[in-house]
Every structure is written in C-alpha cells, then in structure tokens.
C-alpha cells in the first residue's frame, strides 16, 4: 500500500501551482487590487467576500471563514481526500506523486480494484472488433474509430463467464470482480458475468479511472436463450426483451447518484467549460460528441440528484437538461429542476430542452447535425419560465382561487433558492402572476448577510503579532534573522510560536504563505495564523523588511529590559549570585551607552 506523500513534494507542488489558476476555472474571479474576489462557493451570499491572494497563495472567505491553500480548495470544492487533491494538482503541472514508507493512507486502498476494472475495459475493447453484430451496430450509428477509442467502447461477449475466465484467474481476483459488480450470483450460488452480449461503456471518475460500466443491448444481438446453466437465471425471451441499459451496481468505487457519464471526456475536450448538456442515454452522449457537441453528459440510469446538480454547476455555469417531450420526460425535467433550485446562485443558469415525439438526442443530431441541435439549444426554456409553466398547467390563474393555489405551490420551492438577485426576481415574478405579496421571509440574517470584516482586519496587533504577520506576508524575511534569537527568552505570549516559525522557515527556504499555513493546519494556533495572514502591509518589500527587522530589535530590547528588571528585583531581595551580579553590571553598562543612530 502507498505510504505518505513527502512534505518536500508538497513544498515543490505548491511552489509550482498558482492558486488563481486552480480557483478561476471553478469560481469566476474579479481583480480587486492585488487580490481576486468572488462570491464564496462554500456558502450563499449576495456580496463577494471570498478573496484569493496570489502573493500569499491562499484563499479566505470573510463571510464563512473558509480558508486554505490550493490543496485545501480542491478538497473542499471537489470533495476530494488529501491524496486525491494532491494527485490532481500534480497532474496539472506534470509531476508524479512519490510515496515514502511509513503509515499507509488513512483510508482503504483500491489500487487493485481500479487496475482490475481497467483490465475489464481493455478486455471489452479487444472483443469489439471480433463481433460482427457490434461492428455493424457502431457503423449504423455512425461511430468512427476515434470516438470509439475516446470513450473506450467495447463489447461483452456471449456466454456466461467470458470475463470471469479472462480476469478471475485466482480466487482473490474473482472476489474482486464480484466486489466491482462485474459478476452476479445465480439461484444456487453460481457466479456468472453480469454483462453479456452488450455494447460496453466504461464509466470514468474525475481522474479518468474506470469505476463502473454501462451495457447496452443492440437489436441485432439479443442474448442467447439456449445456454442456460444450472442455478443461473434464464435470459428473457424475445417476447420479453432485456432492459436496454444495464449499469454496474453500487460498489466501493461507484455511487451512481454522484457520478456523470462522460464528464471526464468533456473536460478533456474543453479547456474552458461554459456549459453542460445533460441527456439520458450513453449513445445520446456519444453521438453528440461525434457530431461536435462535446459538452454532453448523462446521469446513470437515475433521476438527477442533488449531488448531480452540485457536480454540474461546479463544472459549468450553464446547464441544459435535454429530455423527451412526453409525460415521463417532463416528470424527469421537474425532478431535475427541484434538484438545481438550491444551487441557483447568481451567475448560474439552467435551461430545459424538450425533444419532438419519437426523437432522442442521438437520432436528432444524426438527422439535423450539430448546427440543428445547437439551434434547438438556443430555443431552450429557461428555468424561470419552466418553473411557472409547470406549476400553472392545471391551475386557472384567471381566478382568485387559482392564483392562491399557484402561490401556495410556488412559495416552498422558491424558499430553496439561495439568497441573491435571482431569488428576488423569482419572488417578484410570483407576485406579478398572483398578486400575492411573496417577499422572502427576512428573519435572522443569514451568513451571507452578516457584515463581513474588511480585508486586512485582524486581532489587535502586539509587537509579537506584528512580527508574525510580517513573516506570513513574506516568509523570506526569516532569512534576515540569525541564531541565537535575541528575543527567544522574552516572556510574552506568541514568542514560542514566532521562534518556531523562524526555525521552520530557515529549514525550508522558499516556501510560500499557503504552505506555511498548511504546516500548522489542525493546531490550536491555526485560526490565529489564518487571521494574521490577512494583514495587508502597503508599500515596497524593502519597507516591510525594515519594519520586520525593527520589530525584532524592539523585541530584543524588551528581552534585555525584562532580564534587567528580574536581576534588579533579586538584588533588592538580597538573593543575587556572583554570576548574576556580573550580568547585572554588564546590562546596566550597555543600557547607559547612547543608542546607535538608526538608518
């Protein structure tokens, strides 16, 4: 099992990463002097209180207190564990994450399971050219080799145990195949391949690893009925065809309510992602990509969940939901709308496209091409219009009773909207349509309405706090200090922390503020350091250096005075030793000398 990621690698990684490049694709930032600002992605707010500092390489929200380095941002925003966040950042700058011996990761390691699923995908890919039915189907659907390779489309051979025989070569691997959802258990405990005679679509996670599969039957190749084995359920007859799509079950790697098919391919094809198009089937996605619409993804045989909605809007500001125009399609669209309502922060948009009867994105894009599909997208219904149209379809808004019913149905849903201009406009529209005053309740102020401290505010700064704040603003200042520290013996709060900071920075020159804060994460001093790191020091770097040196000089003077006071007190008590008498005479003589002029 992999061991710990070395601290020196974390140093190198954060030195290469610009946090603005990490945050900007996920949260639209605006320049604000030397920093960047935005509405916080971690809580709902109307006024931006989220700041990103290129100089210090960390982010901070004055509204909810979220803060940290580029690694912490990825962990919080993408819901990644620490090793995965490091891996993702390392990939972006072409680094390979090393691991040292020692305690393994504090979580179950699934390296072998990922490898086995990748081998299964390769097995299905090799089987595709050997199936005439599969090749004919792909050709009929207009899929070229490039798109087949991009999605790693394969073929699950017939029979009951092709994958089990090819990959379950040991008892351990057979158990892993079962754990990964590749095998099913018959009535008498017999194991057999879950996927048989289906076109196979590997489902990838955000790092491009195979975590599950979707299998589609094709009309020219239904599973055979004469190969039944004892204890294994018979396949359906032609009068009762199998389900068009079969997905992997929930496994340690795969939770269908949290994943989107093709999101990996979308991110590979689009350096800047402005929109996502959500469709229902794997072939819909593949056909759209084949036609050049490379922002298509699909939910995995389930309705749009809250996790899906969060994932969609974190990837792109505009989301288009594409459904059939029948009753089932409109029902699915409404469930999607309910999922996205709590995530409709200002700047995000959701649209709904309903297709003509008998059409799906696959057939439509092959018939009308990319231009035709894009034209339909431009005619999509905005969420606001669909919201009121759906709630009004069986209500007579010409009557008082009807308008009251509309208001009654709409209010609980609108209450889910996050604070912002869109929420206010939706309430205003409801009031316009019904005449019912529908202003959102204004009780206790939410986190987004609490007055946020201004940038640069910090706890009352003593001389020690000032020195620490200057170190956090420019860690390179530690190189100005030589051992032994003249202030180390000063009996004041914060001195042990200041000396520890200096020791740490002198051992690891060149690290930035974010990494320094990362080192103290989880310690009781962390919160105070985070606040001090927000302190702004206007002026040139040389002025900051001079101020820092002067602060340490004053601390050294305080140390001398503190020792002098202690010796004088002991002398008055008659308990001063000979060595201490000599020290006292030396300190008094030094204090009597005129101060050297300051530069």
The pair of three-digit structure tokens given for residue 517, joined into one six-digit string: 């804060």
Sheet (strand 50-53) strand order: 30-32, 35-38, 50-53, 58-61, 67-68
What kind and span of H or E run contains 150?
A: helix 145-150
Minimal CA–CA distance to 263: which of 299, 288, 304? Answer: 299
Instruction: With beta carbons less than 8 A apart as the criterion, state whether 100 and 8 touch.
Output: no
pLDDT at residue 341 in the model: 95
CA atoms within 13 A on the CB side of 71: 23
Q: For residues 11 and 516, give the distance between their C-alpha atoms in angstroms, rounded to a whole number.
A: 9
CA distances from 453 to 43, 61, 472, 514 (A): 16, 10, 19, 21
Minimal CA–CA distance to 498: which of 515, 485, 512, 511? Answer: 485
Q: For residues 211 and 200, give the distance between their C-alpha atoms in angstroms, rounded to a whole number.
A: 13
Q: For residues 252 and 211, give the distance between their C-alpha atoms in angstroms, rounded to a whole number.
A: 9
Residue 440 — very low, low, confident or very high, per pLDDT cuts 50/70/90? low
Q: For residues 415 and 341, give the distance between their C-alpha atoms in angstroms, rounded to a whole number.
A: 9
Instruction: Say yes or no to pLDDT of 115 above 80.
Output: yes
What kind and span of H or E run contains 131?
A: none
CA atoms within 13 A on the CB side of 347: 19
Mean pLDDT of 35-55: 87
CA atoms within 13 A on the CB side of 497: 22
Query: 510-540 burial, b if ≥16 CB within 10 A, otherwise e?
Result: ebbbbbbbbbbeeeebeebbbbbbbbbbeee
Instruction: Say yes or no to pLDDT of 109 above 80.
Output: no
Question: pLDDT per residue over 231-267, tens digit each?
Answer: 455 444 444 567 788 999 999 999 888 899 999 999 8
Question: pLDDT per residue over 187-241, tens digit each?
Answer: 777 899 999 999 999 999 887 899 999 999 986 444 443 344 444 554 444 445 6
Instruction: Say yes or no to pLDDT of 114 above 70.
Output: yes
The pair of three-digit structure tokens given for residue 397, joined into one six-digit string: 């808004």
Question: pLDDT per residue over 503-521, tens digit each?
Answer: 888 888 878 888 888 778 7
Cβ contacts of 424-428, under 8 Å, gap ≥ 24? 425/384, 426/384, 426/387
Instruction: Say yes or no to pLDDT of 456 above 50.
Output: no
What kind and span of H or E run contains 109?
A: none
Q: For residues 419 and 414, give the distance between their C-alpha atoms in angstroms, rounded to a whole number.
A: 10
* Residues near 263 by beta carbon (within 8 Å), at least 6 away in sequence: 204, 206, 297, 311, 315
Question: pLDDT per residue over 159-192, tens digit each?
Answer: 889 999 999 989 999 999 999 999 998 877 789 9
pLDDT at residue 124 in the model: 98
Residue 460 — very low, low, confident or very high, per pLDDT cuts 50/70/90? low
Minimal CA–CA distance to 413: which of 423, 399, 400, 402? Answer: 423
* Residues near 159 by beta carbon (within 8 Å), at least 6 away in sequence: 193, 196, 227
Q: For residues 550 and 124, give the distance between their C-alpha atoms in angstroms, rounded to a whole number.
A: 70
Question: pLDDT per residue over 358-376, tens digit each?
Answer: 899 999 999 999 999 999 9
* Residues near 201 by beta carbon (within 8 Å), at least 6 away in sequence: 151, 153, 213, 214, 215, 216, 261, 282, 286
Q: Is this model's pTM higher than 0.85 or not?
A: no
Q: For residues 5 and 472, give the distance between their C-alpha atoms in angstroms, rounded to a whole number.
A: 24
Mean pLDDT of 308-321: 90
Q: For residues 277 and 269, give the distance between their C-alpha atoms in angstroms, rounded to a whole number.
A: 14
**Percent over 70 (pLDDT), the chain:** 89
Domains in the chain, ordered, with CATH?
A: 7-92 (3.90.580.10), 111-254 (3.90.980.10), 258-388 (3.40.1360.10), 394-442 (1.20.50), 463-592 (1.10.860.10)
Mean pLDDT of 448-453: 38
């Amino acid at each position: 099992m992999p061991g710990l990621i070395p601290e020196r690698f974390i140093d190198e990684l954060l030195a290469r990463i610009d946090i603005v490049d990490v945050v900007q694709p996920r949260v639209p930032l605006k320049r604000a002097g030397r920093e960047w600002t935005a509405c916080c992605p971690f809580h709902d707010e109307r006024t931006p209180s989220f700041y990103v500092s290129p100089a210090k390489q960390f982010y901070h929200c004055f509204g909810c207190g979220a803060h940290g380095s580029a690694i912490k941002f990825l962990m919080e925003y993408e819901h990644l564990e620490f090793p995965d966040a490091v891996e993702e950042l390392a990939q972006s700058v072409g680094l390979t994450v090393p691991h040292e011996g020692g305690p393994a990761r504090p979580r179950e390691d699934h390296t072998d399971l990922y490898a086995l699923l990748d081998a299964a995908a390769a097995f299905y890919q090799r089987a595709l050219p050997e199936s005439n039915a599969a090749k004919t189907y792909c050709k009929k659907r207009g899929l070229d080799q490039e798109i087949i390779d991009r999605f790693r489309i394969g073929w699950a051979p017939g029979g009951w145990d092709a994958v089990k025989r090819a990959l379950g070569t040991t008892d351990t691997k057979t158990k892993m195949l079962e754990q990964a959802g590749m095998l099913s258990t018959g009535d008498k405990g017999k194991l057999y391949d879950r996927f048989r005679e289906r076109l196979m679509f590997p489902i990838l996670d955000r790092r491009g690893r195979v975590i599950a599969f979707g299998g589609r039957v094709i009309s020219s190749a239904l599973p055979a009925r004469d190969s039944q084995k004892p204890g294994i359920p018979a396949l359906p007859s032609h009068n009762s065809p199998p389900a068009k799509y079969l997905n992997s079950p929930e496994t340690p790697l795969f939770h269908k309510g949290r994943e989107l098919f093709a999101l990996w391919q979308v991110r590979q094809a689009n350096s800047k992602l402005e929109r996502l198009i959500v469709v229902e089937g794997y072939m819909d996605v593949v056909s759209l990509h084949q036609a050049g619409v490379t922002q298509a993804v699909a939910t995995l045989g389930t309705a749009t969940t809250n996790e899906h909605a969060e994932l969609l809007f974190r990837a792109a500001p505009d989301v288009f939901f594409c459904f059939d125009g029948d009753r089932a399609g409109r029902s699915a669209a409404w469930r999607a709308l309910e999922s996205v309502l709590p995530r409709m922060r200002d700047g995000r948009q959701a649209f709904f496209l309903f297709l003509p009867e008998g059409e799906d994105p696959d057939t439509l894009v092959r018939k009308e091409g990319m231009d035709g599909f894009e034209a339909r997208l431009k005619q999509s219904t905005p969420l606001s219009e669909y919201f009121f149209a759906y709630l009004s379809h069986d209500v007579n808004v010409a009557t008082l009773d009807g308008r009251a019913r509309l208001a009654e149905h709409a209010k609980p849903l609108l209450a889910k909207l996050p604070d912002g201009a869109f929420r206010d406009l939706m309430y205003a529209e409801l009031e316009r349509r019904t005449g019912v005053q529908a202003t959102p309740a204004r009780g206790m102020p939410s986190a987004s309405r609490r007055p946020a401290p201004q940038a640069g505010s910090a706890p009352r700064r003593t001389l020690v706090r000032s020195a620490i704040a200057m170190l956090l603003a420019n860690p390179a200042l530690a190189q100005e200090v030589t051992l032994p520290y003249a202030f180390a013996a000063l009996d004041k709060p914060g001195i042990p922390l200041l000396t520890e900071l200096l020791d740490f920075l002198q051992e690891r020159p060149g690290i930035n503020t974010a990494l320094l804060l990362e080192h103290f994460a989880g310690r009781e001093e962390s919160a105070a350091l985070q606040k001090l790191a927000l302190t702004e020091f206007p002026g040139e770097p040389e002025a900051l250096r001079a101020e820092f040196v002067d602060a340490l000089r004053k601390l050294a003077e305080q140390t001398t005075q503190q020792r002098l006071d202690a010796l004088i007190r002991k002398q008055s008590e008659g308990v001063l030793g000979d060595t201490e008498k000599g020290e006292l005479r030396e300190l008094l003589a030094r204090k009597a000398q005129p101060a050297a002029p300051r530069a």
